[in-house]
Chains A and B, each alone.
Chain A
Amino acid sequence: MIKASKLTKKYGTKAAIQDVSFNIDKGEVVGFLGPNGAGKTTTMRILTGYIPPTSGKVEIGGLDVFDDSLEVRRKLGYLPENTPLYLDMDVEVFLKYIAALKKVSTDKRSNHVSKIMKVCGIDNVRQSTIKTLSKGYKQRVGIAQALIGNPEYLILDEPTIGLDPKQIIEIRELIKSLAEDKTIILSTHILPEVSMTCSRVIIIAEGKIVAEDTPNNLENRLSGVAKVLLTVKGPGEEISSKLKEISGVKRVNIEKTQASDLVDLEVASQKDVDIRGQLAQAVVQNNWDLLEMRREVLGLEEIFLKLTTKE
């Protein structure tokens, strides 16, 4: 279990993160979500013991990250930001080097490295020099080195950044397959990633945690309203006032009046009530033409924007 309490990191007088606290239980996959510069990488570096916090402390598996640094590092797999690798080394040689540093015993090293290369799908490039590999493969090598030594905890800083969509899906699948027996923290600023791979999301903005929940709960909690978007042929004001009379409707906005008396309306309602039927009826009963109607629930994307942008 990872326990961060009141982490603050200041560079000069500027705080990169402030009072960041969270607990991560064994077996969880937690997504650290935030815009660039929110303090994700700083937090990760503190978690791995690369830099100390100005105040606060981190415990991983009951051990303090700074007092028992070596012991913690043994249990930790870390992929730093931008996937730094020794570009001049061959994949297998590199992984064996990492295995030696991770104190994997000499007789088990070859086997262990082969197994991890298979898991990460890089056994076909084992003899290649890392700098000749594509971005996707480099990323896999980065994840592979984090997996060396079977760490209980994996910390991945933006594991899918810069990859093409196919590679992103592959890396996601890989992370999901690892989730079975590991506690994983991954940071990202890509939203679908979180809803697809993580059991919990921590949203961080300007160095502070602004929300923390499962992806589903976040959606539910923050999107108390559902929106229905309508395009109707008819007089705007009149339609708007008629629709307001329907029970369950919270408010009606006229989005824009298009040419030739078309009106776009946004109708907000409670989330758990579906008012589309009533809306359609109301429009038709008044002899207006209903051209389009769709329901929108606030997605993670909007929640994220809502939480991380200042009004």
Chain B
Amino acid sequence: MELWNHCENPYPFVPHEVLDQAESVRASLPNKYCDPKVAARLYDEIFDEYRLCDDIGIHIVTNEHHSGINNLWAASPVITGVVARITRNVRILTLGTLVTVRPDPVRVAEEYATIDVLSKGRLEIGFVKSGATEMVSGDANPMRIREREWEAIDLIEKALVTQDGPFSWEGKFFTHPHVNIWPRPYQEPRPDFWAATSDLPTCAELGRRGFVNTLLFGGYDRTRQAFDAYKAARAAAGLAPPGEDRLSYMAFAYVGDTDEEGIRIGQKIAWFLTVSIKSAPQFAKFQPGAVVPEMAPLAWRAGASRRPTNLDAEVLIGQGQMFAGNPDTVARQIKEFRRRVGGVGHIIMMTRQGLVTHAEAEKSFTLASRDLLPQLQDLPPIDSDETAWAARREAAAK
């Protein structure tokens, strides 16, 4: 199993009274509330954490969000390019630039190929559908974004693998008569593709295409359903069952010296869910395309906001959305998660999140590398694991 570090680079420094009064803390909060000197310090600290991870075998994930306190990365290809140059060893996953907002996928392919060359073949390319406030910040039509995403992915893939261009593309959403990127990617034929989704038809398509499917905070049941859809689609298409390296899960994580420390600091991560995603209804449930019309009554009747206000770390742990405690505890939690979802090969740890400090994050990564990662290597095949568990349960019942 591989461990990854994903930091959203949040900006938890806007006064509470401002956040409380704001209609949305994304898309429409004026940037006067973001001090660039503070942002510069955050970038320094997090790039230092990436350097540490590079030394201790924890891979790195970058992403982007726009115009909000939840994420200062803004342009994943820019940040990923920096990471490519300040690291030497680990894999780097961009998850990813928002291809449903970017007008020209060919530029995206070119940026990613450049990063793959810069990193000498350490890049992995992830795709996210995006939506909500990102459509507003990026002035992108929120309708049909899934179709737009797939066409962008197809064009990016063709741009990455074509070595005898130029070729022409006249699609539904994108046209480009002369596609011929330089440099071409370092990896042959192209970097591995990932996508973040729990949408079951999309998981099935990822399965057929062999992308790595990563879930975000899906918990046990949604993650299991998603992975099952992935596997079932492969089986139905006559394709080989996926290795666990095709299945990934992203959750909050804090590894401390003790369980008490893990949970205490893990609790600071929940800010991400309780504060940083506050959004106005027109950017959320009333945004066109946010729900299929038949689901609108359910979504619209659900009250003003379902934004959680009090998320207890232990509740998140119980739901499989946080791994926190001492290294042995976290190893147990992850193994249990792996068993319950039917196998997972990548755990993406969201650790430097919310109000967690630089020093706290570095401590967690160090412990994760030294005392957790070894416990996650050479795990028994998931089937026998499950059989043994069932046998134990049966024995306990007698």
A binds B: no
Interface residues of A (CB under 8 A from B): none
